A and B are shown apart, each in its own frame.
Chain A
Amino acid sequence: MFKKLLVANRGEIALRILRSCRDLGISGVAVYSDVDRESLHVRYADEAYLIGPGPASESYLNAAKIIEVAKKARVDAIHPGYGFLAENAHFAEACRENHITFVGPSPEAIRLLGNKVESRRLMAKAGIPVVPGSRALATTDTAAAAATRIGFPLLVKAASGGGGKGIRAVHRAEELPIALEIASREAGSAFGDGALYLEKFLEAVRHVEVQIIADHHGNVVALGERECSIQRRYQKMIEEAPSTAVDEALRQRLIEMAVRAGKAADYVNVGTVEFLLDEEGNPSFLEVNTRLQVEHPVTELVTGIDLVADQLLVAEGEPLPYRQDEVRVRGWAIECRIAAEDPFNEFFPSVGKVSFVSEPGGPGVRVDSALYDGADIPHYYDPLIAKLSARGRDRAEAIRRMRRALQEFKIVGVSTNIPFHLQVMDNVHFIAGTLDTGFVEKHFRLDQQDELENEEIALVAASLLAHNKRKEALRSASLAGVCASPWRLQSRRSVLRERDWGMRRMTWRKSI
């Protein structure tokens, strides 16, 4: 049983992991950059260590510093969360060398499955259908030849990539050379490896992934599928479990393939096997994510399983507490990723301070967030600031609850993509469950209409505040004239200041 665990991450996922640690009586250690000093995960943890300045490369990606802190705090294990060092084989190795348990698969599995070309080869060998594509590209000539073989449109992808980053679409042969150049440069800076491969660009497909968990005793169990077709620029925005594209027969097939994939890679701990389904529902393997994923809550909501707790169980060497036939998927869950982006301005990131947040609640609603009044949203990290999930007995109930919860979620101070999610919940194609990865482009157009009613309310509100301000100014002015005694003037002023409308900072009553 672990006594102490270090979370090598920040924000909502760090808090999520620390919560499961607290459930299990494991002491939680947080690390933070100097801009994250006030963060919720720092204030929640049992121990907290400053690891560097804001930029990720100097803090959350600073593996050496994190290992140093882990040794100083004498932790038994490190949980990497998602992103940052979660799929960094060197970091997993460094943990092993320092006798710290890395909560995740082995460095070898991370390395193998992190190379998208190698993982495709492994799956093909295991008899799993793979999205048509190339090997690693050696020269521009081999690229051109591979492109001709695969056919256009195609995607240029980073061999060491993942998470939807470092992907460029190419529709015609003339676009290929510049796309390769740009993609290689982006891949080099994002993943430290500019190697590329090509993949057929399957439009109008559905992104369906299977959650797997494996222990050190050879057991691999699939925990149902998730659909993640609502994407923008290859970034998932809305996920759900189960998928409307999957009937029971296909589900069994996907489960079987995912488990086979896990065994082929000698996998341990949680992972996600991603597939693309064509219009006939035929699956092709895309990639394996060797980490806990952002969208894990929807799986937890429909299976009743605490994935983080089970990750710790497996990492401690225990066998999985359930067999495949004991896993039940009940009801439906949807998750909306709340990001600090302005959907009315090309989803450009919105940096700033959240002056006020009020999170939704009630039946079937789950919020994974580390927001609080006064939280700074710095520009060094991801714009994902919260995850809102809704669960129902069926998909319709989940959608109703999500709509309600989105309306309840108040975040003031930065723009968020909540208006986007609200419009998707009202979209006929979404409600009908006809989704594919082209959903946002095809069916969706953000309604820029200003509600007339709200404009009038804003005018009324501002007028009333202006009116009150004027009254107060008049009152102060008349007091100054009438009340000669400075003592009484001071006391009157402090009473007035207390009834201040709160637009300036609240001041405490001065001495009376």
Chain B
Amino acid sequence: MAEKYLMRLGDAVREVEVEEGPKGLRVRVNKRWHTISLKQIGYTGLFSLIVDNCPYEFFAKERNGGFDIVIGSRAYSVLLETPERRAAPLPARPVTAEPLEAGDWLVLSPMMGIVREIYVSMGDMVKTGDILIVIEAMKMNNDLKARRSGRVQRVYVSPGERVEQGGALLLLA
């Protein structure tokens, strides 16, 4: 049987065809067919994939709507394309600042840690590169710098407070 799968990786949607026939397992990506051998190794999610006699190793973890595939030190979130997903694309990686109203920027924490220093207060003007907040994680102090200029509208945290990854820190407008 040959099946077509629509896979989304980042912004791109690609069609991949999988065929199990007398010639064994084959896969078509772009216009070319490739001979495939896929074997799981052990039970930790490690797989060996041989594509046209070239071996690759990857790790797979199932996730909502697809798989996280780790090759080398990079992780790729590959999702099965559905009509709903096409309407609302997911971000490729966590972002540290998201636009809200036109012009407003919410500064989010890129990591879990403890707020050590807050160098700004409500009403301050900041410019790109200014250090806004210092977050301690893993015994290192990490300076979070402003990615753009603006005025501090709100400060959501105080020193000593624990923050999660993605937690709101400041609002700049």
**Which A residues have a C-beta under 8 Å from some C-beta of B?**
56, 182, 185-186, 189, 233, 235, 340, 345-346, 348-349, 351, 355-356, 373, 379-383, 407, 410-412, 415-416, 418-419, 450-451, 454-467, 470, 501-504, 506
A350 to chain B, nearest CB (A): 8
Bound complex: CA A459 to CA B34 (Å)? 13
- Residue with the greatest number of chain B CB neighbours at <10 A, chosen from A233, A412, A462, A501: A462
Which residues from B are CB-within-8-Å of A456?
A: 29
Listed A/B pairs (17) with beta-carbon separation below 8 Å: A345-B110, A348-B110, A351-B138, A381-B138, A382-B139, A412-B45, A416-B73, A454-B76, A459-B9, A459-B16, A459-B29, A459-B78, A461-B38, A462-B78, A463-B7, A501-B60, A502-B42
Which residues from A are CB-within-8-Å of B146?
A: none
Given that A381-B138, A465-B67 are known contacts, is A459 also in contact with B7, CB under 8 Å in the complex?
yes
Closest to B113 in A: A379
Pick the contact of A379: B59, B60, B93, B137 (CB < 8 A): B137
Which residues from B are CB-within-8-Å of A340?
A: 138
Which residues from A are CB-within-8-Å of B25?
A: 464
8 A Cβ contacts from B34-93 to A: 34, 36, 38, 40, 42-47, 49, 51, 56-62, 66-67, 69-74, 76, 78, 80, 93
Q: Is the CB of A356 within 8 A of B44?
A: yes
Q: Is the CB of B62 within 8 A of A460?
A: no
Given that A349-B137, A356-B59 are known contacts, is A458 also in contact with B71, CB under 8 Å in the complex?
yes
Closest to A345 in B: B110
Which residues from A are CB-within-8-Å of B73?
A: 411, 415-416, 418-419
Which residues from B are CB-within-8-Å of A467?
A: 3, 5, 18
Which residues from B are CB-within-8-Å of A455?
A: 9, 76
Which residues from B are CB-within-8-Å of A411?
A: 73
Question: Considering the complex of A and B, which 8 residue pairs feature the smallest CB-CB distances, nearest first?
Answer: A462-B78, A458-B76, A463-B16, A503-B62, A349-B138, A458-B69, A506-B43, A383-B138
A502 to chain B, nearest CB (A): 5
Pick the contact of B5: A418, A454, A466 (CB < 8 A): A466
**Which B residues have a C-beta under 8 Å from some C-beta of A?**
3, 5, 7, 9, 14, 16, 18, 25, 27, 29, 34, 36, 38, 40, 42-47, 49, 51, 56-62, 66-67, 69-74, 76, 78, 80, 93, 110-113, 116-117, 137-142
Given that A383-B140, A464-B38 are known contacts, is A457 also in contact with B49, CB under 8 Å in the complex?
yes
Bound complex: CA A466 to CA B140 (Å)? 41
Closest to B3 in A: A467
Bound complex: CA A383 to CA B25 (Å)? 43
Q: Is the CB of B27 within 8 A of A464?
A: yes
Given that A356-B59, A412-B59, A467-B18 are known contacts, is A461 also in contact with B138, CB under 8 Å in the complex?
no
Which residues from A are CB-within-8-Å of B59?
A: 355-356, 412
Q: Is the CB of A373 within 8 A of B44?
A: yes
Bound complex: CA A318 to CA B73 (Å)? 47
Pick the contact of B140: A349, A407, A506 (CB < 8 A): A349
Which residues from B are CB-within-8-Å of A182?
A: 117
Which residues from B are CB-within-8-Å of A451?
A: 74
Which residues from B are CB-within-8-Å of A465?
A: 60, 62, 67
B34 to chain A, nearest CB (A): 7
Given that A457-B51, A459-B16, A463-B18 are known contacts, is A502 also in contact with B44, CB under 8 Å in the complex?
yes
Which residues from B are CB-within-8-Å of A410?
A: 57
Bound complex: CA A189 to CA B141 (Å)? 12
Given that A349-B138, A356-B45, A470-B3 are known contacts, is A458 also in contact with B111, CB under 8 Å in the complex?
no
Q: Is the CB of B60 within 8 A of A461?
A: yes
Which residues from A are CB-within-8-Å of B44?
A: 355-356, 373, 502
Which residues from B are CB-within-8-Å of A415?
A: 73
- Residue with the greatest number of chain B CB neighbours at <10 A, chosen from A186, A348, A455, A456: A348
Bound complex: CA A189 to CA B46 (Å)? 43
Q: Is the CB of A351 within 8 A of B137?
A: yes
Q: Is the CB of B51 within 8 A of A355?
A: no
Bound complex: CA A418 to CA B73 (Å)? 8
Closest to B70 in A: A412
Bound complex: CA A410 to CA B46 (Å)? 11
Q: Is the CB of B62 within 8 A of A504?
A: yes
Given that A381-B139, A502-B40 are known contacts, is A461 also in contact with B112, CB under 8 Å in the complex?
no
Q: Is the CB of B110 within 8 A of A461?
A: no
Bound complex: CA A360 to CA B144 (Å)? 35
- Residue with the greatest number of chain A CB neighbours at <10 A, chosen from B62, B70, B137, B138: B138
- Residue with the greatest number of chain B CB neighbours at <10 A, chosen from A356, A457, A461, A464: A461
Which residues from A are CB-within-8-Å of B34?
A: 460
Given that A381-B139, A470-B3, A503-B61 are known contacts, is A461 also in contact with B117, CB under 8 Å in the complex?
no
B7 to chain A, nearest CB (A): 5
Bound complex: CA A340 to CA B137 (Å)? 11
Bound complex: CA A453 to CA B80 (Å)? 20
Closest to B34 in A: A460
- Residue with the greatest number of chain B CB neighbours at <10 A, chosen from A355, A419, A458, A501: A458
Which residues from A are CB-within-8-Å of B66?
A: 462, 466
A274 to chain B, nearest CB (A): 20
Bound complex: CA A504 to CA B60 (Å)? 11
A255 to chain B, nearest CB (A): 33
Which residues from B are CB-within-8-Å of A504?
A: 62
Bound complex: CA A192 to CA B142 (Å)? 20
Q: Is the CB of B7 within 8 A of A382?
A: no
Q: Is the CB of B74 within 8 A of A450?
A: yes
Which residues from B are CB-within-8-Å of A419?
A: 73
Given that A356-B45, A467-B18 are known contacts, is A457 also in contact with B56, CB under 8 Å in the complex?
yes
Pick the contact of A466: B49, B67, B117 (CB < 8 A): B67
A sample of 9 more A-B contacts (CB under 8 A), given A340-B138, A407-B72, A464-B38, is A348-B111, A349-B142, A356-B45, A373-B44, A455-B76, A457-B51, A460-B16, A464-B36, A503-B62
- Residue with the greatest number of chain B CB neighbours at <10 A, chosen from A185, A349, A383, A418: A349
Which residues from A are CB-within-8-Å of B116?
A: 189
Which residues from A are CB-within-8-Å of B58?
A: 457-458, 461
Which residues from A are CB-within-8-Å of B38?
A: 461, 464
Bound complex: CA A379 to CA B49 (Å)? 34
